[in-house]
Amino acid sequence: MDDAVRWDLPTDVLVEILPRLPPSSRRRVRLVCRLWRHIIDEHTAEMQSRATTLIWHPWRAVACVVDDLSSSSTGSCRELWRSVRGVQLVGTCNGLLCLCNNEEKPGGIITLVNPATGERLHLPPLPSAEKFIGSFHWMNWHETYNFAYQPMSGRYKIVQLCVPCSLDHVCEFNGVRVLTLGETSRREVATLPEGGARCNLGAGIVSIDDTTHWITRGSTTRVVSFDLKDERITSTTELPTRAAGPCRYHLMEVHGRLGIVIHDLSVTIEVWIMEEGRRWSRRYSFRRQNLPRPHFVYGEYVLTREESSLYGHYRKKGPSLSGEVVQVGHRDQGTLVAEIKGDYSHSQYRTFAYVETTEPLSVYEANIY
C-alpha cells in the first residue's frame, strides 16, 4: 500500500472501520505499517488480550483455562469446552480449537469450535484412510494433524502427515495433505518415495507463522520445514549437537520461534530455539523439572509440571529480551497454577495458548461439502 494513501486515512476513521472487520481481517491489516498496528492493538479487544493458558485433559476431553498466571495461587481453572471421550485437541489458533475424534473412523474426524460463541464446524475427512494400516489399538490419529494459521493471508490450514499406523509413533513418511478452510480441495502436496524418511510423531508437529515443522529419522535425525504458502518442503535442519547422545526430544513454540526440548539421561532438561540462519541456541535449562507441551512459555511466565500440578515461574528477563540462558532449579517450585484432580493421565495432559475471539466459523462453511 502506498504511504500517501496510508497516511491520508485519519485515525478516527480507521477506528470506526475496525469493528466492522472480522478478526481475521484485522490481523492482516495490522501488518500494513507500524501506525496501523498500534491503532489496532489499542482499539480491538482481541489484540489487547494476552494469551492465557489452556489445559487439555486427554482422558476426559475437557479444556480448561487459567486466565491470569500472576494471580493464580489456588490451583483452579475454569472449564472452557467439554467434548466426548475419544476426542483430542489438535491445536488452537486465534481462539479457535481444532478437535479430532479418534474413534469415528480411520484417520479421525476433524471439527473446529469457537468456545466463545459456541459455533462448531465439521470438516470433511481428508482422503487418507488408505494410507493407514488398520489397527484397533491405534487411537492417536490427532498426532498426525496440525492446525495452522497464516498471518499474511489470514488463512487457516489443516496439515496432515500421511503415515502408516505404528504403535511406537515412528512411521514411514509418505506425504503431506492440506485442507484450507473455505475451500473444497484436499490436496496431497508433498510425497516421498517408499522407504523414505521416518516421521517421529511422538516429537510433535508445530506451526510457526507460515511454516510447519516435524522431526524425521533417517541416516540423521532432522527437523523438516514445510512452507504453508507454497505448500512444499523447503528445508531440513539437523538437531542441536546436544541431542546427539541418548535422549528424548519434542518440538515446542517458544516466544514465537521453533523450540526443541531435550531430555537426556541426567536430570536436566534443555530448551533450544532456532535463530536466524537456522542456528540453534540454548535458552532454558530446567533441573528436576518437567515441562507441559506443546506450550510452556506465556509472556513473562514459564510453566513446569509435577505429576498432576502445574506451576508458574515468573521470569522477567526472558530469552526474547536477551541471549541469557534462563535456569530453573529443582528448589524453584514456583506458584501453583492448576491441579488436575481425578485424571490418571496427568502425564499426558497438554497446554496451549488461548485468546478469546468472536470470529465466526460460518464464513468457512459455504464452500464445505
- Nearest Cα residue to 301 out of 41, 102, 71: 71
Rounded average pLDDT over 204-214 = 93
Q: What is the pLDDT of residue 114?
A: 94
Rounded average pLDDT over 113-125 = 89
Greatest Cα pair distance in the chain:
63
Lowest model confidence (mean pLDDT) among 164-173, 189-198, 225-234, 290-299: 164-173
Residue 294 bridge partners (DSSP): 351
Q: What is the pLDDT of residue 321?
A: 44
What DSSP string runs through 171-207?
EE--EEEEEETT---EEEEEE--TT-PEEEGGG--EE
118 pLDDT higher than 90 = yes
**Residue type at 207 in one-letter notation:** S
d(CA 240, CA 264): 13
Portion of the chain with pLDDT greater than 90, in percent: 27
Q: pLDDT tens digits for 243-296?
A: 767 788 899 999 889 999 998 777 789 999 999 888 999 999 998 788 999 999
Is the Cβ–Cβ distance between 113 and 356 less than 8 Å?
no
Is the Cβ–Cβ distance between 210 and 200 less than 8 Å?
no
CA distances from residue 47 to 27, 95, 214, 322 in whole angstroms, order as listed: 8, 12, 29, 25
Rounded average pLDDT over 123-132 = 60
Is the Cβ–Cβ distance between 101 and 89 less than 8 Å?
no
Q: pLDDT tens digits for 80-92?
A: 999 988 899 999 9
Q: H/E element holding 12?
A: helix 11-17
Q: What is the pLDDT of residue 346?
A: 52
Cis peptide before 294 (omega within 30 of 0): yes
Q: pLDDT tens digits for 27-54?
A: 677 667 767 766 766 666 555 456 889 9
Q: Can you list the pairs that 259-265 forms with residues at least 24 positions away whose Cβ atoms lie under 8 Å?
A: 259/283, 260/223, 261/291, 261/293
CA distances from residue 111 to 82, 176, 207, 267, 361 in whole angstroms, order as listed: 13, 19, 19, 39, 11
Q: What is the pLDDT of residue 6?
A: 47
- The three cell numbers of residue 147 are 492446525
Is the Cβ–Cβ distance between 95 and 359 less than 8 Å?
yes
Q: pLDDT tens digits for 190-201?
A: 766 555 667 888
Q: What average pLDDT is seen over the chain?
A: 78
Residue 93 bridge partners (DSSP): 96
- Nearest Cα residue to 213 out of 202, 203, 222, 226: 226
Domain ranges of the chain: 1-48, 49-364
133 pLDDT higher than 50 = no
Cβ neighbourhood burial of 154 (10 Å; 0-12, 13-18, 19+): middle
Strands 279-287 and 297-298: unpaired
CATH level 3 topology of 49-364: Neuraminidase (2.120.10)
